[in-house]
Structure 1
Amino acid sequence: MNVTIYTDGAARGNPGPGGYGAVLRYTAPSGKVHVLELSRGYERTTNNRMELMAVIAALEVLNRPCTVELHSDSQYVVNAFNKHWIEGWQKRGWKTAAKKPVKNPDLWRRLLAAKQQHQVTFVWVKGHAGHTSNERCDQLATSAADNGPLYVDEGFVEGDVD
C-alpha cells in the first residue's frame, strides 16, 4: 500500500502553545483517493516537537505496513534520516557529534518505533511556498495551537528549546 503524507508543526512562542497537522493520501486500486487529516494542539511545546509529532501521528495511524513518501518542511526531521544523523545519535547513546544530549529523544524513539514496519522516504518541501498540501498542514497545525483543545506535552522539558 502506497501512502503519501504531508506534515507540519507549529508553536506560538517556541516554547508556547503548539500544534501539528498531517494529511495522508492513499489511492485505492479502484482509483478512489482517500484523504485523512490529523491535528492536535498542546499547551506548551516547541516547533521541533510538533514537527516530530506530526510525523509520528501520521505513521501511527497506519494499520498495516506501507510504502510511505513523507513530505515535511522540517529540515530537522528530514535531515535526521536523509543525512543519517539519527544513526550517529543512537551509536553515541543519543548524543550529538558535539557530545551534547540530543533534544527530544522521547519523540525520536517514538518515531523510530512508528516507522519500523513501513518503508519511509523523507522528502523536504519548502514551507510557506504555496504547496497546497503543505499549506493545509500548516492551517491544521496553527488552528490546533490557536483553538485547542490543548493537551499537555508530557515530554516537553522547560528550558529545552530548539
Structure 2
Amino acid sequence: MKRIDIYIYTACHARKTGPAVYRAILEYVSIKTNLLIDEGQLEDTTKNRAVVEAALRALHRIKKGERMEITIHTESEYFMRILKDLNRYADADWQKANKQDIKNADLWKQIYVFATLHKLRCDINLDKYNCKTILEGRLT
C-alpha cells in the first residue's frame, strides 16, 4: 500500500471567526519522495474549521483509484480527537453523546468518505517542515 504524509499548518488572528491561511504539504513516500504543496486563504472561519478544511483540500488532491495509507500531521487536538472517533460519529449521525451535532459536520462527512477509501490516521509531529512563521506573515 502506498503511503502519503500530509502536513497541515494553519494560522489565524481570531479566536472565534476571522481570516485564516493554511499550507498543506503532501509527501508521497516511496523510493523517491515527491512533494505537492497546497496553500490558500480562508475567510470567516475558526482555527478548528481551518484545519479540517485544509486537510480536506489536501485529500482532494490525491489521485483516485489506489487505496493509500495516509497520515495527517497536525497540531490540532480537535482534529485528532474527531478523526480517531470518526466511525463512531458517522454511526451516531454526526452527533455527540449528548445528541448535539458535532461542529464542522459538513466537512467531517466528506473526510469520512476518504476514510472509507483509504487508511487514515493522525500524528502530532510537525517537525519536518516549519511553515508557521511564513503563514503568520501572510495574514492580513
TM-score (norm 2): 0.82
Q: Secondary structure at the match of 2:120?
A: strand
Structure 1, residues 89-115: CA drift from partner, whole Å, max 9, x if none?
333322212222211111111111233
Q: Which amino acid aligns with 1:3?
A: I
Q: Secondary structure at the match of 1:100?
A: coil
Aligned to 1:21: 23
Aligned to 2:81: 79
| Aligned ranges 1:7-86 → 2 under 5 Å | 7-13=8-14, 14-28=16-30, 31-64=31-64, 65-82=67-84, 84=85, 86=86
Alpha-carbon distance between aligned partners in 2 of 1:140 and 1:54, rounded to the nearest angstrom: 16
| Aligned ranges 1:94-113 → 2 under 5 Å | 94-113=94-113
Q: Secondary structure at the match of 2:82?
A: helix
Aligned to 2:128: 132
Alpha-carbon distance between aligned partners in 2 of 1:2 and 1:107, rounded to the nearest angstrom: 23
Contact kept in structure 2, 1:10 and 1:46, CA below 8 Å: no
Q: Which amino acid aligns with 1:41?
A: Q
Structure having greater relative contact order (Cα 8 Å, sep ≥ 6): 1
Alpha-carbon distance between aligned partners in 2 of 1:140 and 1:115, rounded to the nearest angstrom: 30
Alpha-carbon distance between aligned partners in 2 of 1:114 and 1:104, rounded to the nearest angstrom: 16
Contact kept in structure 1, 2:5 and 2:29, CA below 8 Å: no
Aligned to 2:93: 93
Q: Secondary structure at the match of 1:99?
A: coil
Aligned to 1:6: 7
Gaps of 5+ in 2: none
Percent of matched pairs sharing the same residue: 23
Alpha-carbon distance between aligned partners in 1 of 2:100 and 2:29, rounded to the nearest angstrom: 43
- Taking a change above 3 Å as real, the CA distance of residues 94 and 10 of structure 1, as seen in their structure-2 partners, is same
- Taking a change above 3 Å as real, the CA distance of residues 141 and 53 of structure 1, as seen in their structure-2 partners, is farther
Gaps of 5+ in 1: 148-162
Alpha-carbon distance between aligned partners in 2 of 1:43 and 1:87, rounded to the nearest angstrom: 29
- Taking a change above 3 Å as real, the CA distance of residues 27 and 67 of structure 1, as seen in their structure-2 partners, is same
Alpha-carbon distance between aligned partners in 2 of 1:7 and 1:24, rounded to the nearest angstrom: 9
